Structure 1
């Protein structure tokens, strides 16, 4: 196995171009597990830990540009206001040791439907930045996931950053696991309300071959939600939203949970996320009145 350790992004892109089957590694929280259990034996590892740009974040127009290698612990510490749903998801990732190493770029690269970062990226309409020696391009997260562990990234491309829109309303993330820490999610859900556009975003994890949205539920809630903020949603509206979210799931039975439980839990998480969001939204409107 060849091990490459570029120190600049240009060198990293050249290495990926020369070794399109090479596996990028930075935190190593997924790759090293696969190597240790002999589930993967790539011909080349491309260590990106020394590439400064991948570990940086900052403003990019009306977005926050998050380097692909920024660890979850930094997201929790520094981006709770600019990316609340992603920060909430980051708090739930594994243990403190893993949060200090793992990153959103790693989640995107592995493309597991159970990745905790995926639902917030879908719900908030984030954009994935891809780069190669041919140039850079940006792909909406909602177009990034193609099929089971297959994404829009080409073999010679690296995931360099994620662009997170400025929040325009409450954002939530909920996750169910077999215990509170060190587990892969049985199911996960994210909700984002955009008060300016009066739109709703959703993201569902661990309930289909890829992370997915509940588009009918989004349209229903956008039409029925009280954007003036005077009233909380009725019990029937909350229940119907949960039903519509659960209706798009295509889960499987596995060692972590049954398909039936995943579908049921998604409806419960959707109802709770809507209730939390509506309460937060109403408080914000009241304070501004």
Structure 2
């Protein structure tokens, strides 16, 4: 067999080889409840993140990429700033989990109101509650409340396949065999979204995906968040979550659906006694 033929043969053979599997300190796991517990613990190791990122949005209406500065802290603290191509501020959204504020430089307008899913998701084409949005941006998967679980080892992909079941709803989790972090989540049987995580970075006890992808198939929408220079688990700077409007900005109150609330009419001043 000449060298070229040998190289082609080896490439074909190796392309079908299973991934080399590294297991964590627990060794191979065959109990779904035990793996689910380890996954939950691994996700809980990350509490805060602060730094720069790029958000790519693809929808049927079009696609584009934004530069962002993010400061996120569980359970529901959000600070997101977006910038244009020339790195000029475009908008800033802040939420303390109860109230939100959004400042838009164009129009010098500050919107404020309850931290409802519609309000905290204003930068996104999908609507998520603040705690769920924080979890996803931290690379964590919201789990369905499972009635039962199954577990398999996919040697071809080199991952655990943990399935959660609740009635006709299923959630399939591909889990890293060494670090117990979810690398992909797919929910079926109910409107929802899929998640994929990659380019993991380890800092102390925390393992963090620098790439987060959210796919909402029903809406034909995909979000890709790529972190660049970030700090993990630093004490949160609470001043970043203050809701005061910038001086001189026009302030607009909105309701939970994001609709502008008309100012209440001023109460008439009481007349003189006996009038």
TM-score bin (small chain)? under 0.3
- RCO higher in 1 or 2 (8 Å CA, sep ≥ 6)? 2
More strand by share: 2
| TM-score, normalised by the number of residues in structure 1 | 0.22
- Bigger radius of gyration among the two: 2
More helix by share: 1
